[in-house]
Every structure is written in structure tokens, then in C-alpha cells.
Structure 1
Amino acid sequence: MRVAFISLHTSPAERAGTADAGGMNVLIRALAGALTRNGITVEFFTRRASADTPDTVTLDDGLVIHHISAGPPRPLPKSEIDQHIDEFRSNLGSLDRFDVVHSHHWMSGVAALPLARAAGIPHVMTFHSVAAHPNSPLRDGEPAESPARLDGEVMCATQSTLVLAVSRHEAAVVIGRCQADPERVAIVRPGVDIDLFHPAEPGSTWTPHPDVEPGYLLFAARLQPLKAPDLAIRALGLLPDDERRDLVVAGQASADFADYEAELHRLVDDLGLSDRVTFLPGQDRADFAQLLRHASILLVPSYSETFGLVALEASASGIPTLAAAAGGLTEAICNTHTGLLVPTHEPADWAAALGELLRDPDRSAALGRTGRQRAESMTWDHVAEQTVAAYRRAIASGPVGHVCFVHAHPDDETLASGALIAHLIDEGLHVSVLTATRGEMGGVAPGPLTHLAGTPELERRREAELAGALDSLGVSSHAYLGMAPARVGSEPRRYLDSGMQWLESGLAGPADDVAEDALTSADEAEIVADLVAYLRRVGANLVVSYDDDGGYGHPDHVAMHHASKAAAAELGLPFAALTPDRDNADRWFDLDGYLPRVAEALRHHRTQLTVHDDGATITHSGGQVEAIRTSVGLKGTFPHLP
């Protein structure tokens, strides 16, 4: 699976706590790394913020970032970036080489949604924060940085294939305020790197600055009113002198809040806390992990958080969190088990809760231990598994959700398309197979079953073989042409194998004697009508069959090509033709990893062929030896497939 991560306004390479970089930057990079470890290819697309930045860079963890020109190549306030969304979209270009487009933050979604739709690719949306309406209190969410944000969030919520919310709180806001369909919203909570974030060694002491004493308190976030660092400072000021600890404030203000950091420094001076409060810039991940594990308590007084990833990182580090009972923080923290939630934003209430924890070190230690235990079950690899399942759900509910493969005889489904069938099923699509005949005229492979040639038992045997092969591939929906549900009316029709003869090496033609009940003797309109009935019944939205020469000229293959194409056209469905020629394909699938599964399926067709001991080659009943096919192409105009 190939996934495009769109992060227009901030790069995953930016340090959290600086400018507009925060928990989202941490989340998307950690998630991308975990997805990559699970075999998913992830590429980032972000706005170019420096003229010296290469078009594409590879980070030290192997993640690829593409820098897209949109506006002046310099850092911009978030409030100005949305003016360049259209330019970002234009320069982003086609995304049709990806299977899923996952946009992060509303600007990314507004830019990428039209491109995903044009390519027929599912668009997955994660907001990370949702804006409050004008004049709303801070508890309702982040103030909109521009007038376009509210409408942009509604567009992303209502038009995306799937919205991935990071908490129940965010899901409720996306549904209630942004009008998302509840059926298209799923919750996947963030994870934590439990190797990077771990408790300090017992008895170890460390401080980030010579003026900071061990056992310091920590506030870590972007410096803006929503995060309420002023509340942490005011609460400290209300503690008795003998209970006060040093407070480290780690983070920086973005351009949109350029004056706020100076306001905080003035507040510290006004409260007489200059010797107790130390400001640090945003930290890289390793330095921040060290800063966190040696703190005594993390303070998260935010007015609104969709989740509050830093609280989970504190738990992994074995320290308790004192947090506001706001938004997703009520899910990031288990109140009284991994931290304490304060129901108000009154400094006196915060000072009381903080003092309570400081006076009871045994309780603080117990909260830290429980937090670590909980964090160990919330790894990024677990989050990646949930995210991949969500991607597969999006693919299945997107432009292509049900593919019908139409074949003439048993074993054709596996020989021509077995690897592709298995792959699409694994990617979350529904797959149906329709078989026209039982291969009655086909030869029988030499061996203990040769006596079945020309007998009614051969037909029954091949039905059983086909059932086994389909089960190996993972197909649960199958029918025979002319039998319900692949039949118009109640009277069944059994289409028989038309037979063939070799005209030259590799090219077949009609047999000299064709039975009246043979497939090629039937009225094509009847065949098409039966096909239409089946496609309607299963709800297929893509039809796949042979190309116009049937692969090698078998008359039944050619007949099913024409009938399948006509049935798809009657229903307005796209039609794709199988081809073994890479140069002739509009989409090529290299699926070598499915060889064992295809070989297993082929072993069921014992009357048709023999699978060699190497599991990679077969001998047909006529003696032809060939490699098992796993790579295959499709031709035609059809929606995107994973």
C-alpha cells in the first residue's frame, strides 16, 4: 500500500514546540515510521519554507519529504498560509500513484481532496485540531487563524472518504460542528514511543539548566493562550514558598502569537517568580524525552486538546500529569490512575491540586508506575495496525469497493488473475468470481484422475476443485453463469465448454464440433443479460475479464470478453482487461509475494494441471510447462485500485 501524507502548513521534520510545530508533527512522523515498519510506503508533501530546501529529502529514519512551492519560500504565519492552498494543489500535481491520500490539518485537506477525487483515490482526513466559531470560549477549540478555516473544515469532514479522529471528543466535534457522517468517522488514538520515553533510572538526577533544581515541574507546548502556560505560572505563584518547585516552560511562540512569550515573561516578573521559572526553546525528541523523564509532574492546563499526546509521553516516562479536564485530555489520562484532571481553569484550583501531589510523593510515584504500564499497551505499531485497517475500510468504501472477475472455465481465475484476486481481498475490497462453464471439454492431467475424461463426474470434480481454489484465494462470493443469481428468470441455463483446437503454438481457435449448448452457441444477448443480473445482485462497481483475444484465443475466453464488456457498459460500470504484457497495461501489479497462495490454489485443480515441487511452475493437461503467473496488468479506463 502506498500512502501520501499531506502536511501543508508544517513539516514533519520541524521540532515540536517551535513556530506552528506541535503534537501533530510528532504524531505524523511517528505514525509514518510505524506504517513503514508494517510494510506501507509513506511519502510526505509539505510547503517549501526555504529557498535552499531540495525538492525531496530523506530523513535519518528513511522517511521521504517532498517540498512543494506555494507562496514565498520562507516561514509564514499560519494565518497567511491558506492564501497559497490553490498554488500548493497546482504544484502538487497528480496523486494517482498512491492508494490512499491522508491529509493532516484542514489546509492539507482542502488542497488534496480535489486531487484524490480526480484520481479516484480514497481521501482520509485527520484534523488534529478543530477551530472554534468566532466569539467562542477557548474551551471550544483553537481560534480560527483565517476566515476560510470553518468552511474548509466542513468541506473536509463532509467530502472525505473517512475521517480519523484521535479521540472520542474530536469525533463528536467533527460530527456535531463539522457535519461529518458518523458512519465515516473512526477513532484511532495516538501512540507513544516507549523506548524513547521511559522512566529515569532510580536515584538519578538531572536538570536542563544550572538554575533549575531536580524535581522540577514541566510545561511543554507551543506558547499561545490556548495552551494556558500562564495558568501553570499563576498556580505556581499561589503555592506556599516551601512547597514551590522550579517550573520549566519548554516551547516557543509562533508568528501569530509573537508577543505572547513576552507577556509570559512579564507575568513571571510581576509574580516574583524569576528565580523559579526557566524558559527553554522547543527540544528535539531525544532532549525532550530526557527533560520529561526527570521532571516530577507535567502540567497540561490547555483549554482544549483533541488528545494531548504529551500527557501519554509523560505516562511512558513514569511521571504523573496534572491536566485540565478538557477535550481529549480526559482520554489521554486515566483520572486518579495515571494523573489528575482539574475541572476548572481557576489558578487556585490548580494550585490546590498541584500542592496535593507535591505533598504526597508516594501517590505521585504510583500514578507514574500505572501510567507506564498503560503506555506500554499504546505503541505506535499498534496504532499503525489500526490505521491500516482504516485505510482498507476507506479503500473498500471508495470508488472501487467490489470487483467482479469473469472467467470462462475453472482454473482460469487462478491462472490469469489469482494473485490479483488475493491482493485485492487483502486490501479490503470485496471480490466476486463468475465462472461460465465447468471446463467439460478440457483435457485431464495424466495421473490417477484420467478416467474422469468425458464423464459427468469430471464436471462435478471440477466444481469441487474450483471451490477449493477460491477458498485458498479468499473468495467467498462465486456463481456459475446461467445459475441463480447469475440468471435472468427462474429457469436455469447450463452453459457448456465450447472446446478448442490449437491453430499454432500459443494460439487457439474454435473446435470443429461445437455443441448446441456450448457457450459460443448461445445468444450473446442472453449471456449479457445473465451477467447483468449477477453484477447487479453483488453490487460490483468494476468488471475484470480477458482482453479481446481471450489471452490465447480460446473461443470461450473471447466470448466472455465481449459479454463482460457489454454487461459493464449496460450498467455504466468500468471494465478492465487482464494482460500479461507490462507495456500494454494501464496499471501493472507486481505480486510475487502471493506465489505460495496462488500455488496452493492451483493444487486444487488436479484434473487440469500439476504444480511442480518447486511451487513456481506447472504442467498443463496438454503437457505445456510454464511459470505460475503472479504479475499481471489491467488495461482500460477504471478507477484507482490499491
Structure 2
Amino acid sequence: MRLAMISLHTSPLQQPGSGDAGGMNVYVLSTATHLARRGVEVDIFTRATRKGQGEIVEVDPGLRVINIVAGPYEGVSKEALPTQLAAFAGGMLQWAHCHNERYDLIHSHYWLSGQVGWLIRDLWRVPLVHTAHTLAAVKNAHRSAEDSPESEARRICEQQLVDNADVLVVNTEQEEADLIHHYDAEESRIRVIPPGADTELFTPGSDRATERARRELGIPLHTKVIAFVGRLQTFKGPQVLIKAAAELFRRDPHQALRIVMCGGPSGQHATPEEYRQLASSLGIERKVRFLDPRPPAELVALYQAADIVAVPSYNESFGLVAVEAQASGTPVVAARVGGLPLAVADGETGILVAGHDPHDWADALAELLDNDEKRIAMGEAAQRWARKFSWQASAEKLAALYDEALAMDVEDCPQRHARGD
């Protein structure tokens, strides 16, 4: 089987946690890696963003990243990428023609990639599998008051993909329900395949490893640590954690507590300075430390150094950070949204918080900070819980789905048309 994956707006080789790189990058690279190990030949097509990055990057045996030139290398925001869809599609077609490459199936990730996949599917006459990862209607339904809404143009494009893709892959049953409710998707074309985590890399550390990690972070051994890992954008909720931390210090100004924010800014005009200023305005700037995004091999040390990992997102299709943290033996306090109730066993491996009120978050965090026995027991249960999720299992289910899609008679499938509503 030869598979063309499309990840137009962000390369799977980009460092997660900054810009447009996040859990989707990890998902694409991890599933592609394990699919290649199963004998599926995978080419991931993404937009070139640097002149010297090379057209073809050999990642693993059977796995390549193809950098397609579409628009200027730099200075094109994600919001402007719809203007480059035709250029990207043309670049993909030209590359496949010049290299005499043929593919059995297309799997697109995110709506921008899906629009390209939809066009090429009909030219190559192969099945199109699409994974949205996030949906405009869902993001708008859950966004905070200060967050900008997703455009109606994006929602329409997503509706077209829901109507025209041969198979829709979602991470959770909640995502399936969202597709049906917001986009009137046909249940028969939806498949639920949970993502995984690298449970061989993300493991609990010894006391000595935790001490070393804290020493490298400059955090005293006997200080409690709450970590946030992800892009610094309103939708991910870093401001919720900072405000909750301020409430904790208001209740007990002398407690030994530090907040570690690991991630980079995301979105137009985004900067980590706004979150530093928020901490300063709340009088806790010396209690909050900001770290640049880290590769997985270094990120595991941060998870191990933390007593709690907070995931205050306004929505998550799954919650990869929550699973990685639990695999590292760290309990999670997360918002009760999206796929997080699947990723976190409420009351067993962490606590799910309804809403984003900083006082409620302070209560949940304090419940674990003040009860060492409960927090340690949750950490031990978290490691066992996280073993349920693996990229190998995700790839196995995807490979079976691809076989199912290939059994479809694409030539005889009636063309579905977007309703444009």
C-alpha cells in the first residue's frame, strides 16, 4: 500500500508547542512512523517554509516528508494559507508526475489539507480519508469570550469535506457526535480511532531523575510544581492556570509552589509577553517560569519534575499532553471538554474541572497539592491508565481502515456535492 498523507499548514517535523505545531504534528508523524513499520509506504506532503530544508526528507524506511513550494517560504500566516491551496495542489500533482509516483489512498489532516485532498482524490481516483483534528463549529461553541471566532468560510469548507470525504476519522466518540450534530455527517462514514502516546519514552522517573530534572529547571526539590505544556494561546487556557495560581497564592502567600509554562506563542501577533504581563499584574511573576518548547526526549523530564500537569483547554479533540503526563506518572487536572474525559480517568488519574473559573481550578489544584497521598496514588494509577493508548494500536486500526477504504469501488461511487450551507 502506498499512502499520500497531507499536512499542508504544519510540517510533522516541526517542534510541537509553538506556532501552528501541536498535537496534530505528533499524531501525523507517530501514526506515519508506525504505519511504515507495518509495511505501508507513506509520503507526507507539507508546505515548504525554508529554502534549505530539501524537497525530500527521508525520515524512516518507508517514510518520507515531501516539502512542496506554495507561496513565499516565510510571512504567510495560517489565515492566509487558503490563497495557496491551488498552488499546493498543483505542486503535489507536479511532484507525483515528475517522480512517477502513484498512490493507493489519500489521508488529509485539517481542513486546509482536506480541500487539497478532495481535489486530488477525484483526479487520482483513489479514496480520501480525512481527519479534521479541530472543527470551526466546535471551537466557536467552546471559545472564551476574548478569543477570536473561527471564520464562516472555514466552516463551509469543513462542511464540504464532511459531505465529500469517503471516510472521516475522529479521535473520540465525542468528536463523532460533534460531526453529526454540527455538520450532519453520515454516521456510516465515521470511524473512531483513538490516538496514542509514546509510552516507551514517557515513563515515570526515579527520585534521582526527578531531583536532577528539578535542579536543571532551577526549582527546589521540596517545592510543588504545576506544569503547563502547549501553545501559548487563549484557546489552550494558559491564562486560566495563571489566574488559578494567583488565587492559590492569595489563599496562602507563603506556600512553596512554582508554575512552569512550557510552550511558544501561536497565532498572529502572539507573544509570550502577554502571559508574563498577566502574571506580573497578578503579583506572581516570580512564581511563574516560562520555557521554550522542548522535543519529546527533553519534555519527559518536565513531566517527571511536575507534581501536577494542568490542561485548561477550551476544547481538545483528544488531549495528547494529558496522556503523556500520565504515562510519566504525573496526575492531570484538566477541563471537562472534548476528548479529555477519555484521556483522563476523573477521580482516579486526575481531576476534571467543569468550566474555566479560576477559583474552581484553584480548588481542584489545591485538592491534589494539599494531599500528598492522594496525588501520589493518582500518579501511580495514571501510568497504568496511559498504557491503554499506544501509537502502534492506532496505526493498526488505521491500516485496517485503509484496507476497508480500498475495497470501495471509487469509480462507481456517486459524486457527493457540498451543500454550501
* TM-score where L is the length of structure 1: 0.60
The correspondence of residues 433-582 of structure 1 with structure 2, limited to 5 A, is none
Does residue 1:190 correspond to 2:199, yes or no? no
Residue number in structure 2 paired with 1:630: none
What residue identity is the alignment partner of 1:29? L
Can you give the 5+ residue segments of structure 2 that lack an aligned partner in the other structure?
414-421
Residue number in structure 2 paired with 1:22: 22
Tell whether the 8 Å contact from 2:180 to 2:187 is kept in structure 1 after alignment.
yes
Tell whether the 8 Å contact from 1:131 to 1:143 is kept in structure 2 after alignment.
no
Does residue 1:178 correspond to 2:183, yes or no? yes
Task: Name the structure where helix makes up a greater proportion of residues.
Answer: 2
What residue identity is the alignment partner of 1:74? E
Write out per-residue CA displacement over residues 527-546 of structure 1, whole angstroms, 9 at most, x where no aligned residue: xxxxxxxxxxxxxx69xxxx
Residue number in structure 1 paired with 2:244: 235
Task: Call closer, same or farther: CA 1:15–1:43 in 2, change over 3 Å.
Answer: same
Residue number in structure 1 paired with 2:265: 253
The correspondence of residues 236-315 of structure 1 with structure 2, limited to 5 A, is 236-239=245-248, 240-259=252-271, 261-315=272-326
Tell whether the 8 Å contact from 1:216 to 1:248 is kept in structure 2 after alignment.
yes
- By how many angstroms is 1:5 displaced? 1.0
> Partners of 2:404 and 2:232 in 1: how far apart?
38
Does residue 1:318 correspond to 2:323, yes or no? no
Work out which of the residue numbers 153, 167, 178 in structure 2 matches 1:148: 153
Can you give the 5+ residue segments of structure 1 that lack an aligned partner in the other structure?
401-540, 543-642
Give the number of aligned pairs: 400
> Partners of 2:245 and 2:166 in 1: how far apart?
46
> Partners of 2:188 and 2:48 in 1: how far apart?
36
- By how many angstroms is 1:281 displaced? 1.0
Write out per-residue CA displacement over residues 156-186 of structure 1, whole angstroms, 9 at most, x where no aligned residue: 1111010100111211112221232111001
Tell whether the 8 Å contact from 1:161 to 1:398 is kept in structure 2 after alignment.
no
> Partners of 1:165 and 1:196 in 2: how far apart?
25
- By how many angstroms is 1:40 displaced? 1.2
> Partners of 1:93 and 1:100 in 2: how far apart?
14
**Identical-pair percentage:** 34
Task: Call closer, same or farther: CA 1:181–1:266 in 2, change over 3 Å.
Answer: same
> Partners of 1:252 and 1:9 in 2: how far apart?
17
What residue identity is the alignment partner of 2:246? G
Task: Call closer, same or farther: CA 1:355–1:135 in 2, change over 3 Å.
Answer: closer
Task: Call closer, same or farther: CA 1:257–1:182 in 2, change over 3 Å.
Answer: farther
- By how many angstroms is 1:241 displaced? 2.5
Residue number in structure 1 paired with 2:419: none
Does residue 1:333 correspond to 2:344, yes or no? yes
Tell whether the 8 Å contact from 1:166 to 1:190 is kept in structure 2 after alignment.
yes
Does residue 1:124 correspond to 2:129, yes or no? yes
Choose 70-79 or 130-139, whichever is displaced more: 130-139
- By how many angstroms is 1:136 displaced? 4.4
- By how many angstroms is 1:18 displaced? 1.3
> Partners of 2:404 and 2:320 in 1: how far apart?
25
> Partners of 1:199 and 1:128 in 2: how far apart?
28
What residue identity is the alignment partner of 1:189? P
Residue number in structure 2 paired with 1:351: 362
SS in structure 2 at match of 1:45 = strand
- By how many angstroms is 1:339 displaced? 1.1
> Partners of 2:61 and 2:276 in 1: how far apart?
37
Residue number in structure 1 paired with 2:220: 213
Tell whether the 8 Å contact from 2:44 to 2:64 is kept in structure 1 after alignment.
yes
Task: Call closer, same or farther: CA 1:59–1:276 in 2, change over 3 Å.
Answer: same
What residue identity is the alignment partner of 2:53? T
Residue number in structure 2 paired with 1:87: 87
What residue identity is the alignment partner of 2:228? F
SS in structure 1 at match of 2:286 = coil
Residue number in structure 1 paired with 2:143: 138
SS in structure 2 at match of 1:368 = helix
Residue number in structure 2 paired with 1:36: 36
Tell whether the 8 Å contact from 2:244 to 2:358 is kept in structure 1 after alignment.
yes
> Partners of 1:368 and 1:91 in 2: how far apart?
48
Work out which of the residue numbers 106, 109, 114 in structure 1 matches 2:111: 106
- By how many angstroms is 1:369 displaced? 1.5
